[in-house]
Amino acid sequence: AQSVTQLGSHVSVSEGALVLLRCNYSSSVPPYLFWYVQYPNQGLQLLLKYTTGATLVKGINGFEAEFKKSETSFHLTKPSAHMSDAAEYFCAVSDQQAGTALIFGKGTTLSVSS
C-alpha cells in the first residue's frame, strides 16, 4: 500500500522567504508523485509531478521539488514566497498501474506574512 506523510500541518513564512514543504512517501513500487495546491472553496491545481526521468521537477508559480529515492522524499520548495502563495498544499502518490487512484497526504497550510 502507498502512503504519504506531510511533515508540518502548518508552515508560516515571511514574504520573500524560502518556502519548504516536506513530503515523504511509502511505496513498494516506483511511485509517481504530485504536489497540488488548493485555495479556499476551490478545486485542486497541479503544481508539479514526478513520473520518470529528471529527479528535479519544476512546476508552476516558481515551485520545484526533488525526488530523492534514498530518502523517500519529495519536498516542495520555492525560493521567495509571495502573499498569493498562501493556500493548502497536498502531496500525493500513485503507482504506474492503470486504474490506481491518487493517495493524498493530510496537507500543509502555508501562511505568508508581510
Partner 1 sequence: GAVVSQHPSWVICKSGTSVKIECRSLDFQATTMFWYRQFPKQSLMLMATSNEGSKATYEQGVEKDKFLINHASLTLSTLTVTSAHPEDSSFYICSARTGGRGYGYTFGSGTRLTVV
Taking CA atoms, 93 is separated from 47, 53, 72, 101, 114, in Å, by 14, 16, 12, 9, 33
The binding site for partner 1 (CB under 8 A) comprises 32, 34, 41-44, 46, 49, 51, 90, 94, 98-107, 109
Q: Which residue's CB is nearer to partner 1, number 17 or number 107?
A: 107
Closest distance to partner 1 from the beta carbon of 96 (Å): 9
To the nearest whole angstrom, how small is the minimum distance from the Cβ of residue 25 to partner 1? 14
Of the pair 62, 107, the CB lying nearest partner 1 is at 107
Q: Which value, to the nearest 10 degrees, does the dihedral of the CA atoms of residues 62, 102, 26, 31 take? A: -70
Cβ(55)–Cβ(67) under 8 Å?
yes
CB of 40 to partner 1, least distance (A): 10
Q: Parallel, antiparallel, or unpaired: how do β-strands 87-94 and 108-113 relate?
A: antiparallel
Please give the radius of gyration of the chain, using alpha carbons only, rounded to the nearest integer: 14
Rank residues 42 and 55 by Cβ distance to partner 1 and give the closer one.
Answer: 42
Task: Determine the Cα–Cα distance for residues 63 and 82; give it in Å rounded to an integer.
Answer: 11
What is the closest distance, in whole angstroms, from the C-beta atom of residue 112 to partner 1 in the complex?
18
Residue whose CB is less far from partner 1, 15 or 49:
49
